[in-house]
């Protein structure tokens, strides 16, 4: 009925499938797949970089970026909850021999500038050489503001460091911030990237592609990135069948992310209303979304009944257990995307009300 597990579960639309079917093909390892070359050119121009590189996944584009920026024994400053640190199987250390220096996130999802500055190591052979600052935007659905992104880029330049954006959901951040800055989402995305040495952009999340991510940077950086991509097994052949989807997405699916954000707010408001009306759901706490991701915290005993109830009726949600000072909680993660409609959310809320009435 409704798959809220992630925006990675989307299926290509009919128009996107047609673009993939009609794509002109070549061999990307020989650098002559015309559709891939066009996607890379289009994306680089869109976001204000010299060049771009297509790769199978965001995990790989992040790793390629870190291995291109850093040498063995260098250090990258990351967030404790960053995807690059926590959710990529330790690739920077295992495969790149790069030391991560994780910092605790602030409540708004940022890293404190003072914490970043304090983590930069002096030029001393006892220490790994600090080389790179990594920023993630969005992080857990939270938007890092333009002023903060500029401050980090300025700090990196001041300290002689490189800086990379894990922008898996960069376009969600751009859509959320665009009206505030009186810019189009595309212009906003470009501004968020200004001053950064590289960015990784996922095509297979909210943008709706079946596979793929882009890495963007200077010509020299992308030249090195191609070597690293080959080393990691990311060199593919007739990639135009995939990159045609990316071209379609960048031209058609950015502004529509606002629909996902609106649906997330609708879901959050509905869950909040249910929790306030039904005593059995009062342990449910809703964290207001900024983009397309809603988090709800409930006690494990309630989650152990609710999750199977929803799953049996075709509603899929991810959950993880955590320990707080008040006790144990289950955090449910609801992700809205182009395959989640307003009516599906309404039906899901009705199912939760039905569940509560039987509890």
DSSP for 34-62 reads HHHHHHHHHHHHHHT-SEEEEES-HHHHH
Digit-coded pLDDT (tens) for 89-131 = 999 999 999 999 999 999 999 999 999 999 999 989 999 999 9
Decide: 306 and 275 in contact? Cβ < 8 Å: no
Decide: 352 and 317 in contact? Cβ < 8 Å: no
In this structure, the strands spanning 74-79 and 51-55 are unpaired
Can you give the pLDDT at residue 78?
A: 98
Can you give the pLDDT at residue 280?
A: 84
Q: 30: which DSSP letter?
A: G
Residue 304's CB is within 10 A of a number of other CB atoms, namely 13
Task: Count how many Cα atoms sit within 13 Å of the Cα of residue 21 in the half-sphere of its side chain.
Answer: 7
Decide: 193 and 49 in contact? Cβ < 8 Å: yes
First CA to last CA across the chain, in angstroms? 22
Can you give the pLDDT at residue 329?
A: 87
Can you give the pLDDT at residue 282?
A: 81
- Compute the radius of gyration of the chain from its Cα atoms: 21
Q: What is the mean pLDDT of the chain?
A: 96
Query: H-helix or E-strand containing 226?
Result: helix 219-231
CATH code for the domain defined by 11-252: 3.40.640.10
How far apart are the C-alpha atoms of 44 and 53, rounded to whole Å?
9
Can you give the pLDDT at residue 185?
A: 98
The reply to whether CATH 3.90.1150.10 applies to domain 257-358 is yes
| Residue range(s) occupied by CATH 3.40.640.10 in the chain | 11-252
Of the candidates 229, 252, 208, 172, which has an alpha carbon nearest to the alpha carbon of residue 56? Answer: 229
Altogether, the residues listed in the chain come to a count of 359
Q: List per-residue pLDDT tens for the chain, 359 residues long.
A: 899 999 999 999 999 999 999 999 999 999 999 999 999 999 999 999 999 999 999 999 999 999 999 999 999 999 999 999 999 999 999 999 999 999 999 999 999 999 999 999 998 999 999 999 999 999 999 999 999 999 999 999 999 999 999 999 999 999 999 999 999 999 999 999 999 999 999 999 999 999 999 999 999 999 999 999 999 999 999 999 999 999 999 999 999 999 999 999 999 999 999 999 998 888 889 999 999 999 999 999 899 999 999 999 999 999 999 888 777 889 999 999 999 999 999 999 999 999 998 87
| Residue range(s) occupied by CATH 3.90.1150.10 in the chain | 257-358
Can you give the pLDDT at residue 113?
A: 98
The CA–CA distances, whole Å, from 247 to 62, 184, 211, 240, 349 equal 21, 18, 12, 10, 35
């Amino acid at each position: 009925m409704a798959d809220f597990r992630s925006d990675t579960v989307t299926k290509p639309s009919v128009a996107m499938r047609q673009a993939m079917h009609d794509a002109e093909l070549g061999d990307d390892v020989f650098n002559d797949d015309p559709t891939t070359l066009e996607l890379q050119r289009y994306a680089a121009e869109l976001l204000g970089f010299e060049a771009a590189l297509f790769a199978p996944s965001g995990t790989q584009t992040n790793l390629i970026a870190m291995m291109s920026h850093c040498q063995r024994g260098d250090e990258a400053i990351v967030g404790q909850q960053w995807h690059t640190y926590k959710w990529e199987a330790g690739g920077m250390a295992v495969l790149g021999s790069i030391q991560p220096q994780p910092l605790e996130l602030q409540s708004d999802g940022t890293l404190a500038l003072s914490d970043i500055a304090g983590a930069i190591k002096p030029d001393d052979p006892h220490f790994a050489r600090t080389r790179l600052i990594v920023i993630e935007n969005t992080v857990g659905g939270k938007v890092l503001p333009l002023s903060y992104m500029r401050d980090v880029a300025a700090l990196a330049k001041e300290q002689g460091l490189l800086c990379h954006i894990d922008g898996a959901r960069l376009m969600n951040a751009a859509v959320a911030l665009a009206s505030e800055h009186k810019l189009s989402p595309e212009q906003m995305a470009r501004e968020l990237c200004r001053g950064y040495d590289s960015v990784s952009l996922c095509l297979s999340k909210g943008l709706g592609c079946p596979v793929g991510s882009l890495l963007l940077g200077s010509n020299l950086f992308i030249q090195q990135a191609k070597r690293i991509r080959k080393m990691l097994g990311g060199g593919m052949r007739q990639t135009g069948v995939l990159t045609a989807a990316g071209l379609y997405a960048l031209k058609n699916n950015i502004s529509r992310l606002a629909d996902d954000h609106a649906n997330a707010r609708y879901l959050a408001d509905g869950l909040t209303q249910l929790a306030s009306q039904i005593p059995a759901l009062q342990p449910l706490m809703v964290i207001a979304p900024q983009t397309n991701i809603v988090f709800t915290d409930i006690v494990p005993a309630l989650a152990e009944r609710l999750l199977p109830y929803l799953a049996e009726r075709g509603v899929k949600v991810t959950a993880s257990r955590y320990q707080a000072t008040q006790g144990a909680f289950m955090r449910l993660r609801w992700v809205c995307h182009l395959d989640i409609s307003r009516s599906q959310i309404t039906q899901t809320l009705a199912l939760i009300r039905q569940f509560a009435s039987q509890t």
